[in-house]
Amino acid sequence: MALFFLRHGQTDWNLQRRWQSRNDVPLNAAGVADAGRVAQALAARGDVFAACYASPLSRALATARTVAARVRVAVTVAPALTEIALGEYEGRRESDLRDELGAVYDEWRAAMFTVAPPGGESLRQARTRVRGALAAAAVQARKKNVLIVAHLGINVAMKSELSGDRDPAVLQGFRQANDEVDIWCARRNQRLEQFRAR
């Protein structure tokens, strides 16, 4: 059985390339459609889930509720799945940060959360925060699939925790689009499959 990692549907801030982090930005119309497509894709596959855990932020929770209703599983809110805190970068557009900070911002971006932004959280800190919830979900997933609906950064942190990888080049491969599902083996702690709901 497996852990299914899903990133929330699109928001207006995703379109603006603005860092959302802990800001509670809702899904836009495209994001609602993203969630519906993922729900349809998982239902068509016939995947059965023991549990669905979701970040409390509305963009993830709304996505989780849409998908969970279609695959007939209850949603449990898990505060540990809240997105990585980005401190002074929260709410800022990437283009503005790049204009203001230049190479400093580009280096931070390439480090894939392994370096904390000013006033924010590092990948290591996020891994520590999510460790207990992820371990419990992984135990459940040894018998039946578990769906986890969260965010780009915290999903990267969870996959880093499972795999033991901390190399930014590897972490880049853990990124997900808004309608992308990443399926991981709960026993071998490795990716089995990744697909987009199109």
Question: What positions carry a catalytic annotation?
Answer: 8, 83
**Cα distance between residue 195 and residue 198, in whole Å:** 9
d(CA 165, CA 167): 6
Bridge partners, residue 181, by sequence: 6, 195
Q: Report how far residue 112's alpha carbon sits from residue 166's, in angstroms, rounded to the nearest whole number.
A: 9
Q: What angle do CA 86, 32, 67 make, to 5 degrees?
A: 90
Say which residue the tokens 């460790």 belong to.
131
